[in-house]
Structure 1
Amino acid sequence: MLRRSRHFLPPRPRRRPRPRREAPAAEPPTPTYTRDVVRRVDAILRGHPWSAARPLLLSLPGLAWDSHTVARVLKAHPPLHKAFLFFRLAAGAGGGFRHDRFTYTSMLHLLGEAGRVPAMMRLLAEMLRAGVDPDAATFTTVMHWLAHAGDVDAAMRVWEEMRARKGKCRPTLVSYTACVKILFDAGRPAEAREVFQEMVAEGLRPSCKTYTVLIEHLANVGKFEATMEIMDKMQEAGVEPDKALCNILVQKCSRAGETSVMTRILQYMKENFIVLRRPIFLEALEALKANGESDNLLREVNPHLAFEGIECDPAFTDLGYITVRSTILYLLASRNWSAVEHMINEMTPKNIKVESHILSDIIQASCANCRPSCGLAVLRYSLRIGNELDRSAYGSLLGHYIRNGSFDLVFEIVEILIKSGCNLGTYLSSILIIKLACAGHSSTAVRIFGLLTTDKNVVTYTALMSAYFQDGKVDKALQLFLQMSANGVSACPGTYEVLIHGLQMAGRKQESEHYRRERMEMQWHLQYRNEHSPEDSLCNHLFCDFHG
């Protein structure tokens, strides 16, 4: 058989090489953003005492000890004491970091905002000794807070120091605006005009904030026509009045009764879709009513307030109350505790009343943010005006001071509350005694028990017995048990649980067995009763499983 020639066979297809399977690429590491690191640092500073926060900060992954990160943390407004300790920690954390003008300015602002002006000036002197040249923002910050504290002369000395450093530090538009406002507020308008003219001569173009300072001063001295001329000039210069300026002008016109100027401002607001804040809307409405003028334009400018029954609601007739309430709610939302505390202290002698639930919210929020001084100011204010707050607010304030070890202050607060006629309630009183006993301050617990009047029942007696046992005062605990029986307060299973456990821990087993039999006899009689008092139920809930 003839073989077929290889030339006549079809060519074999070439095998394509199989593609090699590459190993799956490793996922890129998740980037660490500065905002997340700042949020974690702020949470640590707010939620931990410094002794625990310091090691957490030093071991926090992604925390770069540089100027940008440190300044961002300080601008998050952590509690002042911890912010200053963090500021000091950053300088010694290693890596060769040194504070610059940005971190110094942020810390100076925190100290000034908290009213710590001497500390602010000491830090400024330290900054100069360290060879860090202040910039315009640093001088402006110091100048602002000195004037805010009432020392205008010192603020102007800082201004002159900044002007003397023109080679290194040139005043900015913000610096000039702050200086003009300081001088206007201090009643020195001639000097303010000189500073403004110097600003224009330097080639700086006034901003809307600068014009707002000028217009507010003219409105304060009653020159409302001049305010409108300034508004026209600023629009010719290409600077449009903003919402803040319009609100300020409408408020000033309302209080002065200048409804004709107010109408012109409202017309501008209508054309530019600017609305009023609610308290200022109410003041403008009252001013138009007093002058017998129509409020149609006012309602057109503020359609969100046009159909509210403001006229029929007597709660809104007190404009001072409305302004105070709105301001407090705004400061509470922005967590500006220093401003809230200052405002409450200013309101106290004026007897301006605020709803109890708002005051309770302030106390709980300030304690949660480690600012108990604000909560304490609110408590004293509420007692002065006769407002009884929620027990949760009292508990937040007392709990914060217990955790911080301020037991004398705890007793002072409880004493003030009870003498003012505030009823702490059985639960809060007993929890307070228990917590003080656990902290080793049974003497303070005894003093608080002595203050109680209506809440001396089986729960508080049992709580004090537990405090005596924890302090090793077994005889006093037994004496208190006999006193409770003599006063007609019947024991419950929770009371016997504390009594038996305390005697066992003290090694007095014979007495422990005696009370164990007494408890069994009591329980045998209780099995035929279907109802228990609320005090017995609470006592059993607190103490039957208290010792495990």
Structure 2
Amino acid sequence: MKLVKNPCLRLTALRRLHAASSSTAVAPADVDCDGGVGTRSDVKHLLTEKPSHNASLRHLNYQLRSLLGSASPASFSAALSILRGMLSPDSTSPPDAATRSIVFSGLAKRSQPLNEESLALLVEMAKMGFFPHDAIMFRQFINKLCRGGATSGAWDFFHAVKDAGGSIEATVCDTLLTGLAAIRDFARMNLLFSEMKGLGVRPSVVTFGILINHLCKSGRLDDALNVLDAMSNPDLGVPPNTIIFNTLIDGLCKAGRLQDGLSLFDRMKSSHACDPNTVTYNILIYAFCKAAELDMAHELLTRMEKERVAANVVTLTTFVNGMCRHGMIGSALDFVRKKKVEWPEVKANAITYNILIGAFLHSNNVGRATALFDEMIKEGVSPDSTTYFTLISGLTQAGKLDDAYSNVSLMKKNGFQVDLKGYNTLISGFCKKKRLDKAFEIHDEMCKAGLRPDVFTYTSLIDAFCKAGDFSKADKFLGQMVDAGCKPDVVTYGTLINGYCKAGELDQAMKIFRSMDVSVVPANTVIYSILIDSYCKNKKIDAAIDLFKEMQKQDILPNARTYTSIFKGLKDHNMSDKAFELMDEMSSHGCKPDYGTMDVLTGWLTAIGETERLRLFVQQTTSSNIDLGNLDV
């Protein structure tokens, strides 16, 4: 045999010669010069090879590396089987340091989460003293488990390492604390903090940050403030940073404790020499804008500029949103114009423009809204899907339906897809304007785009057909709706019932009403009121009274409109005794009469000489805050 200079190649050649002469040869393996085990055999061969815990440790490690390097579930299962054998009490090849390195580096590279079986084996391995040998790998492994949804497994593994005498550092604890906070396992978080103290692990600013964030999200703000005070203890030597203060100020503001947040803001610099940053100011400015305390928000902005803390687009947009929400739309636009000069590095973004465009559309200033859209394009700010939907919705509400629809074409041209909400807005708008042909055109376009009509789509079209008196198409569309697997809701049924009632088709309205029981869609006060009103108008007071009793048996409370309708019916039939009964009932149930109710009762009861009854009813309902004017009763 020709000798080779490379000792690795020589060893390989010798092993191949031995393999060729052996009837029990296994798949050939190469030993790398760095001491690792490589493979040129097919992983498939390893899957068919029966695992044995009595095989050499070197060979088992070789198999583990090969199998863990494969992404297939079968390879992973085979690797677990080998590891299980190595961990068994009668194994002649228990794991060693190389096994540890192979297993944990191999698992760290796998994208799939670990199952319970594999976690149990790793915990067992850790108990035997084999675990990640450095804090970085240990932290990465804990992080992988937590992100993979196995936080409880991470907890067990962490404690197996701890109990086996492994080194526990703050970074590892911080990672596990983050995982526990994500699943809101507060009991284990508290326990881990106690254990850190017992282990002599010094908490870092990150550790305290995790605890404070957890307490703020749990609404335990005073406890979080106590933690901040503890950090100020010189013995700990962990001064709070800006992130800690931002977390606390944000928590206080979200809880409505704006003044406490402002006090902490003042304290962070005076008592802790910690400078507030842009985020700190944005948190407070947002909170005061939301609370309509715009003067205080402006005061904070002045202080921000004085201390040369850079504003950003969030600062700009927060002010714009706050002013628009409180009706100061013109001031919001002036603010943007002014800050464009004062803050040249801050550019309004799509969100800023969306807020302004929506505000002007809501105030029916279509011209200013469209001008802002044009300005947005000119400034190089790309509209997003929200921009287009804001325009479509606002223009539809303003009655500019054709302009709204033109934005659909523009939206598609710029690579955006119109969603179901956008199509429904247009369909509803065209239906209300009785432009059913266009509504149907948009409906067909929506279906061609692969969107399925929902209950809102169908109900809008059914309502339009009912108002047009075309009940055959309304019924047909209801059938299509059911066939498409879209379940009609109470609004759909109410639309049909109201349509038939207005057309004088009471029998058909009642037929649909009764079908609601079959469809398991409970009726509501509105539907009962529509039917009762219709029966009263058609001089069928007995049927109206029966429905009134039925709704109460169903625990559906009548409202002022229901009572007003039935009072009108009783008046037409001179049924004053029944009216008195219902007036007492209305008062006892705390149902406040509206102007319609009082108008009916005042005219009727005054005419029949029952002014005392009316006066008593008025006294019982004075808490309703109804301005009865100069009713002469």
User: What TM-score, normalized by structure 2, do the two folds share?
Assistant: 0.41
User: What TM-score, normalized by structure 1, do the two folds share?
Assistant: 0.47
